Amino acid sequence: MLKMGIVGASGYTGAETMRLVASHPDISVVVAAGESTAGVRVADLYASLAPAYGEMVYEPYDVALFAGLDVVVMGLPHGTSQPIVKELHGRVGLIVDMGADFRLKDPALYPQWYGETHSCPELLDEFVYGLPELYRDQIVGAKAIAVPGCNPTAACLALAPFSHGNLLDGDSVIVDLATGASGAGRGPKPKMQFCAVDENYEAYGLLDHRHTPEMEQVLNTTVLFTPHLVPMSRGILATCYAKPTNTMTTEQALAVMADFYADEPFVFVSERSPSTKATLGSNSAHLTARVDPRTGRLIAIAAIDHLTKGSAGGALQSINVALGLDESTGLPTLGLLP
């Protein structure tokens, strides 16, 4: 049994990782660190995890607890993973960062988009971008994985069949995205309180959302990205607009998308308009495409659960690939309805 440790285990992505790994036959969580919850039982913070984790208690982070483990997963805010990664580098089998600290290859982008200089830019090239549908070959055998942001996961899955096939005309795409409140994390924030989120729909991060350069890095084009907070706990719906290089029909666009993902276990292409509820709790991405004959514009749409496929599920999928395990192990494909 492979041993996993989680730093930031008391956050939503950490808890989701624990939920998924509980069903994994080859990996077990042996240490869960959470600075703000040290000494608290996992079951007291997340009663849903009680059947699997019994009396396990959150520990304060200590390198000695993690050194020698097969896998260490981090679910921390930006900036806080860098010193821990530097400390654990070479001392654990596989490092998986679910935060943003190692996603961008150009260190100059961190001051611009994250407001601070990267503290260990020499490690950026050590990390593989953890989106198996696009980077599977690089993930195999990797020792360090940067899990994509939830928003880029949805947008890039929607647009990659066209951008990677050189089927987009022009140098920009538009990503209009709706996301649930848990994407902001477990910490208390005024805008995340029930009375602020309930019955509200609001755009945020106008023109400067931090996930923009990540999308541009994957899609190799300029992206105008506008996210919207919607009153639901989890889920993302990304509606993306672009101009095809040549005249294209809806049927052709769907065929391009279906062919691109023909062998992917977690991507489902259909003529149906995707919904977030259909992906709830699953590692699946539901995709569709349309071409408007009047304007000639392509519309590519993706729905995911941002805590599963967009974070912890995507992390576990990449871990499976990196360690040579069956890629689908421990990962649900079916959403929860009703």
Distance CA 8, CA 18 (A): 11
CB 313 within 8 Å of CB 241: no
Catalytic residue flag (residue 195):
no
Judged by DSSP in three states, 267 sits in strand
Distance CA 222, CA 326 (A): 35
Residue of 120, 150, 195, 240 marked catalytic: 150
Distance from the first to the final alpha carbon of the chain? 35
| Alpha helix stretches (DSSP H) within the chain | 12-21, 42-45, 50-53, 63-66, 81-88, 109-114, 132-139, 150-163, 194-197, 212-219, 250-260, 313-322
Q: Which amino acid is at 261?
A: Y
Cis peptide before 213 (omega within 30 of 0): no
Q: Which two tokens stand for residue 169?
A: 């005309």
In eight-state DSSP terms, residue 24 is -
Q: Which residues are catalytic?
A: 150
